[in-house]
Amino acid sequence: DAGVTQSPTHLIKTRGQHVTLRCSPISGHKSVSWYQQVLGQGPQFIFQYYEKEERGRGNFPDRFSARQFPNYSSELNVNALLLGDSALYLCASSANTGGSNQPQHFGDGTRLSIL
Amino acid sequence: GQNIDQPTEMTATEGAIVQINCTYQTSGFNGLFWYQQHAGEAPTFLSYNVLDGLEEKGRFSSFLSRSKGYSYLLLKELQMKDSASYLCAVRPFDYKLSFGAGTTVTVRA
Strand partners, B72: B21, B63
Any A CB within 8 A of B38 CB: no
Percentage of residues in chain A having pLDDT higher than 90: 82
The DSSP-derived string for A38-101 is: -TTS--EEEEEEETTEEEEE-S--TTEEEEE-TTS-EEEEE-S--GGG-EEEEEEEESSSS-TT
Confidence of residue B2 (pLDDT cuts 50, 70, 90): confident
Cβ contact A42–B89 (<8 Å): yes
pLDDT in tens, B14-73: 999 999 999 999 888 989 999 999 998 899 999 999 999 999 999 999 999 999 999 999
- As a whole number of angstroms, the distance between CA A19 and CA B106 comes to 36
- Min Cα separation B22/chain A (Å): 13
pLDDT at B93 over 80: no
Residue type at position A113: S
pLDDT at A42 over 80: yes
pLDDT in tens, A43-98: 999 999 998 999 999 999 999 999 999 999 999 999 999 999 999 999 999 987 65
